[in-house]
Amino acid sequence: MGSLHKGHAKLIKSAMDLDATKSSKVLVSVFINPLQFGDNEDFERYPRNLENDCALAKASGASAIWAPSFEEVFKGGASSHFQLKVPSNLEAHLCGPKRPGHFDGVATVMVRLLTLVRPQKLFLGEKDWQQLVILRHLINNLGLPIEIVGIDTVRDADGLAYSSRNKYLTPEQRQKALALPRLLANAAKEVRYGNSVNLKDLQNMLEQHNLEVEYVETVDPFQLQSTKTDQKICILAAAVNCGGTRLIDHTFLMPRPPIIAIDGPAGAGKSTVTRALAKRLNLIYLDTGAMYRAVTWLIQTQNIDPQDNIAVMRILENLNLELNQSEAGDQKILINSHDVTEIIRSPEVTSFVSTVAAINSVREALTIQQKQIGIKGGLVAEGRDIGTAVFPDADLKIFLTASAVERARRRASDLKSRGFATQDLNTLEAEIKERDRIDSTRKISPLLKADDAIELISDGMTIENVIDSILEIFHSRIPKEVWPIDHP
Ligand code: DC
């Protein structure tokens, strides 16, 4: 909406930097959108300074600035245009209830601007987190071929997030306003130390600084719903009124490092993707399929009938399953001190593992161990039931799949690279379909896409494409600022 500041400058610079080909143009739009202001809000006095905006956009590297009139955007007037309605769940919290119609106005104008410009990418600030999330849902929902890139909040040296409305603050008011970022940052620190945050206390502290509190809330970062657990990463957001100026800010509460769940059928590329993600985000890699394979190997080598519950229970009681991760991110699997890393990939184990993975006692024992490994968070786990049964509180759930033909092709090349004899593609495809059938029809924890998982179909995508897509989705929920690639 203009009155550009350092936050906008960062959006422009990031757009320039992210274009590896340097052939794209960065367009800055300046449009003070009347549809997103309520009757008693500051549309009339909102700061306008197009001359400065042009200078800042140019200095930051923009190719052009576009400041259309109201008529250029809404030919025939606003009332002759379609108005969008944001789904009520996305505006049920934070600014939504306090600013009725605001996000509808934002959505309506954004779709109009985007269809006029048709950009490849849209750079938006993370400071307006709810707006960013709503626009991600909108673009996804309408299937617009535009990638949204969120850029982290830029703060002034005193900690106040840049906002065009900061211009309204007198020096005294600004001093008071600083309590907002300071108290939010303190809360985030407390949570990192294992303490909890009392929202009522936080509100009282803000009020002690003469800030009139509109809301202090915690919501999950993507669906913007109240969080049911204090075990999950969430957003702590607040809006205050400081001498007539409305200020918003937020922080992330991280009671534990992130958990990513990657489920899906055999051969969808889960292992390669999960290992690479763990390495890029510096998280532990947990291959739960390897655990089922190791138990299968043990049952096979001890000639145990999987139907013999007592014999299986005996094996589980004495089970010592170790997953050791090397510096390079590779995982060694030891069962009762035998290194089975390679042998569990053999066709013999592969053809029997679904049967063993369907045994209740095996699933119970391994699920307990997996939950234990993830108790402090900080991992990427792959399997079939990670998002549904093992880590239902995961911060990101991906259901990675591919057609059976594609998975058979990949399995053949995997077997070849491991030195095992390959079967013909039709046999492999039939085997894969049979494994899918057993895995998805078993009684406990069947292979199932969790309701809140994102499905990625990897046919025609390279492994790098899949990893990049998942990283992008991850960072749309837990920004780079909070958990960067190559996290230390
Ligand atoms: O991913 P994979 O092919 O290594 O998995 C081996 C088998 O283990 C697979 O047939 C399904 C089963 N499995 C499971 O039932 N639950 C998990 N969480 C992981 C694997």
Q: In this structure, is residue 89 part of a structural domain? A: yes
**462 and 364 part of one domain:** yes
CA distances 287 to 184, 382, 423, 472, Å, are 36, 5, 25, 22
Q: In this structure, is residue 487 part of a structural domain? A: no
**233 and 330 part of one domain:** no
Work out which ligand 1 atom sits closest to the CA atom of 389.
Answer: 18
User: Which secondary structure element, helix H or strand E, spans residue 124, and what is its range?
Assistant: strand 121-125
Q: In this structure, is residue 84 part of a structural domain? A: yes
Last residue of a domain, one of 151, 172, 200: 151
Q: Name the closest-CA residue to atom 3, ligand 1.
A: 266
Q: In this structure, is residue 134 part of a structural domain? A: yes
Give pLDDT tens digits for 252-278. Answer: 999 999 999 999 998 888 999 999 999
Locus of tokens 């059976």: 404
**243 and 269 part of one domain:** no
Are the C-beta atoms of residues 259 and 392 closer than 8 Å to each other? no
At 438 the pLDDT is 87
DSSP string, 79-113: GGS------GGGGSSTHHHHSTTHHHHHHHHHHHH
Confidence of residue 342 (pLDDT cuts 50, 70, 90): very high
Q: Name the closest-CA residue to atom 8, ligand 1.
A: 289
Q: Is the pLDDT of residue 78 over 80?
A: no
Q: In this structure, is residue 404 part of a structural domain? A: yes
At 371 the pLDDT is 97
Q: Name the closest-CA residue to atom 18, ligand 1.
A: 383
Number of domains forming the structure of the chain: 3
**140 and 117 part of one domain:** yes
Q: What is the mean pLDDT of residues 302-324?
A: 94
Q: How far apart, in whole angstroms, are the C-alpha atoms of residue 25 and residue 125?
A: 19
**212 and 239 part of one domain:** yes
b/e burial code for range 70-97 (CB count within 10 A of at least 16 → b): eeebbeeeeeebeebebeeebbebbbbe
**471 and 359 part of one domain:** yes
**337 and 454 part of one domain:** yes
At 208 the pLDDT is 97
Confidence of residue 415 (pLDDT cuts 50, 70, 90): confident
The reported pTM is 0.89
Q: Which of 273, 274, 292 to mutate to test the pocket of ligand 1 (most atoms within 8 A of CB)?
A: 292
At 329 the pLDDT is 67
Cα(265) to centroid(ligand 1), Å: 8
**274 and 246 part of one domain:** no
Cα(292) to centroid(ligand 1), Å: 6
Last residue of a domain, one of 193, 223, 253: 253
Cα(363) to centroid(ligand 1), Å: 10
**85 and 144 part of one domain:** yes
**126 and 31 part of one domain:** yes
The angle formed by the CA atoms of residues 443, 445 and 449, to the nearest 5 degrees, is 120
Range of the domain at 49: 6-151
Q: Is the pLDDT of residue 318 over 80?
A: yes
At 284 the pLDDT is 93
- 5: annotated active-site residue: no
| CATH code for the domain in which residue 221 is found | 3.30.1300.10
Q: In this structure, is residue 159 part of a structural domain? A: no
Q: Is the pLDDT of residue 57 over 70?
A: yes
At 179 the pLDDT is 98
Q: Is the pLDDT of residue 418 over 90?
A: no
Cα(229) to centroid(ligand 1), Å: 28
Q: What is the mean pLDDT of residues 445-472?
A: 92
Q: Name the closest-CA residue to atom 2, ligand 1.
A: 289
Average pLDDT, the chain: 93
| CATH code for the domain in which residue 332 is found | 3.40.50.300
Q: In this structure, is residue 329 part of a structural domain? A: yes
Q: Is the pLDDT of residue 327 over 80?
A: no
Q: In this structure, is residue 204 part of a structural domain? A: yes
Rg of the Cα atoms in the chain: 26
Last residue of a domain, one of 120, 151, 182: 151
Are the C-beta atoms of residues 173 and 243 closer than 8 Å to each other? yes
Q: Is the pLDDT of residue 315 over 90?
A: yes
**283 and 431 part of one domain:** yes
Give pLDDT tens digits for 126-163. Answer: 999 999 999 999 999 999 999 999 999 999 999 999 99
**186 and 325 part of one domain:** no
Question: 343 is written with which tokens?
Answer: 């042998």
Q: Which of 274, 275, 288 to mutate to test the pocket of ligand 1 (most atoms within 8 A of CB)?
A: 288
Q: Is the pLDDT of residue 328 over 80?
A: no
| CATH code for the domain in which residue 84 is found | 3.40.50.620
